[in-house]
Amino acid sequence: MDSIVKGWQRIATLLIVVLMCIGCSRVPSVSYNPWKVISVPTDSNLLDIAFTNNPEHGYLVGSNATLLETNDGGDTWKPITLQLDEQKYRFDSVSFAGKEGWIAGEPGLLLHTTDEGASWSRIPLSEKLPGSPIAIKALADNTAEMATDVGAIYKTTDGGKNWRARVESAVGVVRNLERSPDGKYVAVSAKGSFYSTWEPGQDAWVPHNRNSSRRVENMGFADNGQLWLLARGGQIQFSDPTKPEEWQEAKYPELSTSWGLLDLAYRTPDEIWIGGGSGNLLRSPDGGKTWEKDREVEEVAANLYKIVFLEPERGFIIGDRGVLLKYLPNPETTSPEAA
C-alpha cells in the first residue's frame, strides 16, 4: 500500500513540475541571443568592470583581490597581482576617467592609478572612515566620489589626498548602493525593508518605506532619472516619471518563477535587460511592458548579478564563480544592408 501511495506522490510531483514549466513557457524566447560566454582565468566572484578611454583596454575586479586586464575589448583577460598585505581583500568597484582609475574594496581599501593601470598606489584612509569603500566613481582628473557600505559619501578633487563628506551622517548597513549619471544615489537597507535616496545639495539621506511586503533586492536609475526596483518573488517596479515619489503598478516578467531578479540595465532608453539566479536572463524591448527570455543563457550555471552597458553595442554581464558574458550585436540589425 505504501508503495502505491509513494507512486502517486511521485506522479503528482511530476505533474506540478510540468505545470510550472508550462507556466514559464508563456514567456516568449528572444529571436537572437547576443551574449557570448567569455573565458576568464579565475573562478572567484567577479563584481565590477570598467574601461579606460581606450575601448579595448579594461579591468575586471572581484573577490580574493581579483584584478583582470583586457587589451582586446573584453575577449581575453589576464590576471594582475598587486603587492598588498596578507589580508583577504574584496575588490568591489572599479572606475576610470581617461587614464586615471580607482579601485574600492573591503576591508578599507582604495587604490589609484594615473597611467591606465600600469601602476597602482594605495590611498591611505582614515581609521574614522564610516564603513569600507564599496563604490567609486572617477569623475575627472584627480576627482572621484567614493561611497561606503554604510552609505557615507566622500569626494576628492586632489587625487585622493583629501576627501570631503557629501552627507552629514551614514544611512546604515546597505545591501547595495547605486549612483545615477548626475550624481544621485539610492541605497537598499541590508534587510531590504526600506531604501534611502540622496542627491547633491541635500544634507542627509531621505528614507523611504518599501511599497509592498516583498523584500527589496536591488534598485537603480534609468538614464532619465527614473528609479527601478527589483523585489523578492520576481517583481519589478518603475517610479512614475512625472511623480518621482510614486510608483507604477508592479510587474512580474515571468510568473511562477522561483528564481530572484538580481540586476537591471538599460541598453537603450527602451530596451531593458534583467539578470537573475540560475542563469536566467530577460529582455524587454518596450521599457518593461512586455518581456522575452534568453533561453540559451540558461545553460550558464551562475547567478547573473551585474549588467553593464558601456554603450548600446558594448555590454557585459557578470556572474558568480568567474562567469562573464559579452554583448555581441545582432549582425542582421547592425549591418549596412539592414539599415
What single letter denotes the amino acid at residue 192? G
- Give the C-alpha separation, 60 to 245, whole Å: 35
pLDDT value, residue 258: 64
pLDDT value, residue 255: 76
pLDDT value, residue 339: 39
CATH of 38-170 among 3.40.50.720, 3.10.180.10, 3.30.1490.20, 2.130.10.10: 2.130.10.10
Q: Where are the beta strands (DSSP E) in 185-296?
A: 185-189, 194-198, 206-209, 216-221, 227-231, 235-238, 261-266, 272-276, 281-284, 292-293
Tens of pLDDT, residue by residue over 274-313, are 999 999 999 999 999 999 999 999 999 899 999 999 999 9
- Give the C-alpha separation, 118 to 102, whole Å: 13
Residue 16 in this model has a pLDDT that exceeds 80: no
Tens of pLDDT, residue by residue over 47-63, are 999 999 999 999 999 99
pTM: 0.89
